[in-house]
Structure 1
Amino acid sequence: MRIKISHQTGAIVALFMCGMISLHGGITLLYLSMTSVALTSQEILMLYLSGCLGVMLIPLMGASCERVVLAALAAKILLVLCALSTGTVWTIPEALCSGLIASSSFYFAMREVSKRQNGKLLASVLILIINIESLVWYAAFGWLSELQSQVWLPLAYGLATILPLLYISTFVSTAVTHRVDLKQLLDLSKSLKVYNLCCYMLAVFAVNCFNLSLHHWAKLDAQHWWGSVPGITGFYILGILSSVALLSRLKVRNEKLLIVALLGLCAMGYWLGGGATQDSLLLIAAVFGLGGTSTMVMSSIVADLVQTHDTLSRLLVVAVLAAMQVCLICIAEVFADSAINEWQVIAVTGVALIILKVCQLCIESSTFKPQ
């Protein structure tokens, strides 16, 4: 009995620490938006996504994903120590290392989920854990950023970095690695469903933009608790949880659900790119909708992505998602001098994906229609 309890406790601790890897990218983007005044949000995100793209160097070099991530985490600990001693945050290496670490979160999460037979239940528990952790850490970062001392925020960020390092060194065994070449990667990429990846990428891109905008939005209404970092984050998580609860009740084909979810994400993107940020109550309503619609988009196609069982496929999926987000950032930069921002780019891209899906469904219905 004692061994069983110890094993269950270890599994719970492993899930909580694994959640910190999935949360690492969001925490870093929030941290850099608070501390990096010389770079714009688009530049920070571009550096972060460049780190995500670097994950493909792991199989090309034949290196171990676990050891590479451990090295990146150790480098980030050194960067935190430098920030504590000099008071300067080195944004470029911080963003690059964080992108590499966060891009591996899908790989580590799938490893945890595939360990046990009740993988679907475990995935839901992991999502709940990540939401709880994000509320706690974002609230802590928001509160610490308001203090006059420049020490506490880097200390909290350092602690959030140590937890994934402890998780990999304690609970994760190093997998057998094989070196691959570009031809193998290209052959493997042919099996990926481009449309599903585009939809998933758009939802991830919206989440990244939320993490970068959170600190700026919290400055718009400092008088009310719902305008603070914890308040905005809380409503965002409520949107996620309401979406999960709704999805557990609905029995709708994934194609139709995806169209509805993309339509909602387009509306939220257009709203956040315009008038929603002018009023705190409108902002929390839009943030609530963003959490719900982005979760619906990801949930409707995540089953297809989970089917990538081997390490190389998972890393390739992450790299492709990052490359697509870089394309969206480039589009936003091209129209930077006009009225189009990254949120409106999300809305326009979502509309294009909806049109493609509707055309695809119409073609399929006409093709299989009995004569």
Structure 2
Amino acid sequence: MSSKTNHWIGAVGMLIMCGMISLHGGITLLYLSMTSATSTAQEILIFYVLGCLSVVLIPLMGASCERVVLAALAVKMLLVLCALSIGSVWTIPEALCSGLIASSSFYFAMREVSKRQNGKLLASVLILVINVEAAVWYTAFDWLSELRSKMWLSLAYGLATILPLLYISTFINTAVTQRTNIKQLLHLSKSLSAYNLFCYMLAIFSVNCFNLSLHHWAKLDTEHWWGSVSGITGFYILGILSSVVLLSKLIIRDEKLLIVALLGLGVTGYWLAGDATQDALLLIAAAFGLGNTSTLVMSSIVTNLAQTHDTICRLLVVAVLAAMQVCLISLIRITEVFADSVINEWQVITIATIALIMLKIRQLCIESFTFKP
């Protein structure tokens, strides 16, 4: 084999393994939604994002991100062994460890994106790889859950947990550790764009809600393939594929692309908050739209975030994204208490996208009418 062929094989293997560690959070959320009978989706999500937020402890302790992730993966394997031996899944430690691993995956993904010139397109391809893998694993989980076999489901989950170890051991060297304090982190946070972070967080939040809702949606239409986990995931991936095609063909400013993507995400959230879950065709259309718009939102911002070459900055970005999700979930719970009603996560996503669109339009209008000397 030529060196060029070996290079491409290595690059493909790297993307697949990087995709598996990035997919870990989604697999965990689906796994917990299938196995946790006592915890609600919001409870699972809050512990998951608290695990994501704990990534900020890595630079504060001066630890190595790679070694912390390896330790978290080792704990996960112990939890899988416990689930196999006693037949009970420990939701809270599973969600906390998975949040830490999934949030660190952004750090690994940014390392790969920052190595290439066309970061936006590579980010879209990486997202596509992640979701193709998701289709395989989600289909397997759906099939195993239909067999009513928690042992085989936990075994498959354990296999999916082992795969990220291959990525870290094969493609990643332990980086030089950096230690910082809270004052330095606050100073670094001033250089981050709050608007971009909020848009990115909203896209991640919608994907997390999709992973938690997928098993429930699959129960609404058991007569057709497109109503199953694999069917809904398939249309979601088609949406991602369409966004990759759009990004490769369109020549458009990131600001305008972001407005269009947010508008689409808001419309999708409106569907999912209302009639989409009652109609099979609307549901698959919403899944397609969610895959398309969430990818466009993240792709139009990720190049800017990838410019944070420093390890501490990348981990800080992840921590801020997690903190924003914690605040958003807390706001939903507080609103439910004081409004004495149930607030749908998709309703919040719709309202938030409208607010972000209005802020971006206002910003563009001010820039257009500003006279430079």
Separation of aligned partners in 1, 2:332 and 2:9: 46
Which residue number corresponds to residue 169 of structure 1? 169
Q: Provide, for residues 86-117 of structure 1, a one-character-per-residue CA deviation record: whole Å limited to 9, x for no partner.
A: 11000000000000000011111222344566
2:349 match:
346
Tell me the TM-score normalized by structure 1.
0.95
Q: 2: distance between equivalents of 1:13 and 1:257?
A: 31
Pair 1:46 & 2:46 matched: yes
Corresponding residue of 1:56? 56
Q: Determine helix, strand or coil for the equivalent of 1:202.
A: helix
- Which residue in 2 is equivalent to 1:294? 294
Contact 2:66 2:174 in 1 (8 A): yes
Name 1:87's counterpart in structure 2. 87
RMSD: 1.7
Q: Post-superposition shift, 1:244?
A: 1.6
Q: CA deviation at 1:6?
A: 4.6
Q: Give me the whole-angstrom Cα distance separating, in 2, the residues matched to 1:232 and 1:208.
A: 15
Query: CA–CA distance in 2 between the matches of 1:215 and 1:197?
Result: 29
Match of 2:19?
19
The 5 Å alignment of 1:1-371 reads 1=1, 5-115=5-115, 122-336=122-336, 337-368=340-371
Cα displacement (A) at 1:263: 1.1
Distance 1:125 1:253, change over 3 A: closer
Q: Deviations over 1:209-257 (max 9, x none)?
A: 0000000000001110000000000001111111121222222222121
Tell me the amino acid that sits aligned with residue 354 of structure 2. V
Flag as ranges the 4+ runs of structure 1 deviating above 6 A: none
In 2, are the aligned partners of 1:14 and 1:167 still within 8 Å (CA)? yes
Look up the equivalent residue of 2:221 and give its one-letter code. D
Q: What residue ranges of structure 1 are gaps of 5+ in the alignment?
A: none
Greater shift after overlay, 170-179 or 195-204?
170-179
Of stretches 253-262 and 19-28 in structure 1, the one that deviates more from structure 2 is 253-262
Check conservation: 1:106, 1:318, Cα contact below 8 A: yes
What secondary structure, in the 3-state scheme, does the structure 2 residue paired with 1:286 have? helix
The structure-2 alpha-carbon separation of the partners of 1:174 and 1:101, relative to structure 1 and needing over 3 Å to count, comes to same
Contact 1:61 1:179 in 2 (8 A): yes
Query: Contact 1:335/1:341 (CA < 8 Å) preserved in 2?
Result: no
The alpha-carbon deviation at position 10 of structure 1 amounts to: 3.4
Given that 1:331 and 1:345 are in contact with CA atoms closer than 8 Å, whether structure 2 keeps it comes out as: no
Are 1:17 and 1:167, in contact at CA under 8 Å, matched by a contact in 2? yes
Give aligned-pair identity as a percent: 77
Structure-2-length-normalised TM-score: 0.95
Gapped regions of structure 2 (runs ≥ 5): none
Given residue 364 of structure 2, which amino acid in structure 1 is its aligned partner? L
Q: Tell me, what secondary structure is at the counterpart of 2:150? A: coil
